[in-house]
């Protein structure tokens, strides 16, 4: 028979079993963390009516989208989890309680030009809180604590959550004489500060109509924290002149003031007035998260407050605040940088049972008992030499191997080999099971990420 060459499309991540175990561990850690904050899980279709998905329309999105017809229906694959959320909330508003807190971890699709570290199918891990008409600022203050806990649980140590407020920025632009219809563009220019540098940003602000000295003054203010100044103090001096600025400043202060109560240490958050986010969508608090030792990676968790989630579907005003982690890209980056905790047990089983007699029933009964105890057990009874059987456990990283021969059956005791130490122990099954359980619990504890930066720090 002529064969088709098996291949996986470029831009699609497909992991080997050990890697997948670490990825899944990250997903379950995020699920557990999000649940602690009262978020409910959603799962929306990957395919939606193109008309629904592209209600907002235009822009880069439309070019990248996977769109096709089936029968008469114009279909598209979701390119983010926000538009499906908007559809879901507009569709089910009557059956939901507001504020509606949901998380969704799912695949999204963008037909981008394939390049290293860019994915066409990737997981996003999103949380959003949606209000009905209004939404209290406490929800904005809670977001950094969720990021902090999530990343800490994942094992990341050296990161900082930076936040700002777009109302404050807009007000500041107005105070500096930027025309209102140019505030969005000014926001996008500020957002590029880290990428293109102070000089270019000043230049572009001038092109937008700002006087050179005003642009410089604005940037000096936005970057004041870098020179050890307290941004809130600097901002306070400007209050009372612009309502939007004042509101933004008040919100920013509220968010900052609750960090300690939310359990976020001072080392892990920062007011950063240069955070603007490119999207017009955001209207208040905005967030970015940086790995301290890898700023070149950019933000690994971003989001913000928006006024109106579902304006393309409903007249109901649904303000919200949310965060998104690009999980596939984060995993890729962590792997590239050697941040994955490869010492975590990722084998598919805790114990490999090797029957050495023709009658398989005793091995099966032992495997059943191991599983009853909560241990992950596999029976290996392929027709291979004993050495090959043990190598199988070795290749998979299965930590314990049990041999079950005539001697064991006669004595009622079993022999367990600890693959790491090579040590063999013979004892009753009950005794051995409890010992294995302890060891396995230790091997499985620990986080999926091992922060290299923090480890190096500990060395000194």
CA 401 to chain centre: 36
Q: Could you say whether residue 72 binds a second copy (CB under 8 A)?
A: no
Q: Tell me which residues in 169-208 interact with a second copy (CB under 8 A).
A: none
Q: Tell me which residues in 271-330 interact with a second copy (CB under 8 A).
A: 310-315
Distance in Å, CB of 263 to a second copy, minimum: 5
Q: Could you say whether residue 78 binds a second copy (CB under 8 A)?
A: no
| Closer residue to a second copy (CB): 47 or 221 | 47
Beta strands in 97-204 (DSSP E): 100-109, 121-130, 159-165
CB–CB of 114/70 below 8 Å? no
Q: d(Cα 63, Cα 56) in Å, to the nearest integer? A: 13
Distance in Å, CB of 223 to a second copy, minimum: 30
Q: Could you say whether residue 158 binds a second copy (CB under 8 A)?
A: no
Q: Could you say whether residue 226 binds a second copy (CB under 8 A)?
A: no
Q: Tell me which residues in 355-394 interact with a second copy (CB under 8 A).
A: 360-362, 364-365, 368, 371-372, 374-383, 392
Distance in Å, CB of 408 to a second copy, minimum: 16
Q: Could you say whether residue 231 binds a second copy (CB under 8 A)?
A: no
Q: At what angle do helices 138-154 and 243-258 cross, to 10 degrees?
A: 40
Binder of a second copy out of 29, 78, 79, 109 (CB under 8 A): 109
Binder of a second copy out of 30, 52, 416, 433 (CB under 8 A): 52
Q: Could you say whether residue 256 binds a second copy (CB under 8 A)?
A: no
Tokens of 403: 């041999």
Q: Tell me which residues in 391-420 interact with a second copy (CB under 8 A).
A: 392, 395-396
- Max Cα–Cα distance, the chain, nearest Å: 93
- Which one, of 57, 110, 46, 121, lies nearest residue 84 by Cα? 46
Binder of a second copy out of 174, 208, 258, 409 (CB under 8 A): 258
β-strands 159-165, 269-271 pairing = parallel
Q: Tell me which residues in 25-44 interact with a second copy (CB under 8 A).
A: 35-44
Q: Could you say whether residue 250 binds a second copy (CB under 8 A)?
A: no
Q: Could you say whether residue 14 binds a second copy (CB under 8 A)?
A: yes
CB–CB of 29/154 below 8 Å? yes
Q: Tell whether omega for the bond before 99 is within 30 degrees of 0, i.e. cis.
A: yes
Q: d(Cα 227, Cα 205) in Å, to the nearest integer? A: 22
Binder of a second copy out of 79, 88, 269, 400 (CB under 8 A): 88
Binder of a second copy out of 81, 82, 121, 272 (CB under 8 A): 121
350 exposure class (CB count in 10 Å sphere: 0-12, 13-18, 19+): buried
Binder of a second copy out of 128, 140, 142, 272 (CB under 8 A): 142
| Closer residue to a second copy (CB): 16 or 237 | 16
Strand order in the sheet with 40-41: 40-41, 100-109, 121-130, 320-326, 302-306, 282-291, 159-165, 269-271
Distance in Å, CB of 292 to a second copy, minimum: 24
| # residues contacting a second copy (CB under 8 A) | 105
117: left (phi over 0), alpha (psi -120 to 50) or beta: left
Q: Could you say whether residue 331 binds a second copy (CB under 8 A)?
A: no
């Amino acid at each position: 028979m002529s064969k088709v060459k098996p291949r996986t499309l470029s831009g699609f991540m497909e992991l080997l079993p050990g890697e997948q175990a670490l990825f899944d561990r990250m997903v379950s850690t995020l699920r557990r963390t999000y649940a602690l904050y009262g978020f409910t899980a959603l799962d929306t279709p990957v395919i939606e009516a193109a008309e629904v998905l592209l209600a907002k329309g235009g822009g880069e999105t439309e070019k990248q989208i996977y769109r096709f017809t089936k029968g008469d229906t114009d279909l598209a694959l979701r390119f983010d989890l926000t538009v499906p959320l908007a559809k879901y909330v507009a569709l089910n508003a009557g059956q939901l309680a507001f504020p509606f807190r949901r998380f969704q971890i799912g695949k999204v699709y963008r037909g981008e030009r394939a390049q290293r570290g860019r994915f066409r199918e990737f997981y996003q891990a999103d949380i959003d809180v949606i209000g009905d008409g209004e939404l209290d600022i406490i929800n904005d203050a809670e977001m950094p604590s969720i990021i902090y806990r999530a990343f800490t649980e994942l094992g990341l140590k050296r990161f900082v959550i930076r936040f700002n407020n777009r109302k404050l920025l807009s007000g500041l632009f107005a105070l500096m004489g930027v025309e209102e219809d140019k505030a969005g563009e000014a926001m996008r220019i500020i957002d590029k500060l880290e990428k293109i540098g102070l000089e270019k940003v000043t230049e572009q602000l001038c092109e937008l109509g700002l006087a050179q000295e005003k642009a410089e003054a604005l940037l000096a203010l936005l970057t004041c924290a870098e020179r050890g100044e307290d941004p809130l103090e600097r901002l306070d001096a400007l209050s009372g002149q612009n309502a939007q600025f004042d509101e933004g400043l008040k919100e920013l202060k509220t968010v900052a003031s609750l960090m300690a109560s939310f359990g976020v240490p001072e080392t892990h958050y920062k007011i950063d007035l240069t955070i603007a986010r490119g999207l017009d969508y955001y209207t208040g608090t905005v967030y970015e998260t940086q790995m301290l030792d890898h700023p070149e990676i950019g933000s690994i968790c971003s989001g913000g407050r928006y006024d109106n989630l579902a304006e393309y579907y409903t007249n109901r005003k649904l303000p919200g605040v949310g965060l998104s982690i690009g999980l596939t890209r984060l995993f890729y980056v962590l792997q590239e940088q050697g941040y994955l905790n490869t010492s975590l047990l990722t084998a598919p089983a805790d114990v490999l049972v090797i029957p050495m007699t023709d009658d398989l029933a005793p091995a099966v009964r032992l495997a059943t008992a191991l599983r009853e105890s909560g241990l992950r057990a596999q029976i290996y009874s392929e027709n291979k030499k004993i050495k090959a059987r043990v190598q199988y456990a070795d290749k998979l990283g299965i930590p314990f191997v049990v041999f079950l021969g005539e001697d064991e059956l006669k004595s009622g005791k079993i022999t367990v080999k600890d693959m790491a130490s090579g040590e063999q122990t013979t004892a009753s099954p009950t005794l051995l099971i409890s010992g294995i359980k302890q060891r396995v619990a230790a091997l499985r504890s620990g986080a999926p990420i091992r922060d290299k930066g923090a480890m190096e720090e500990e060395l000194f």
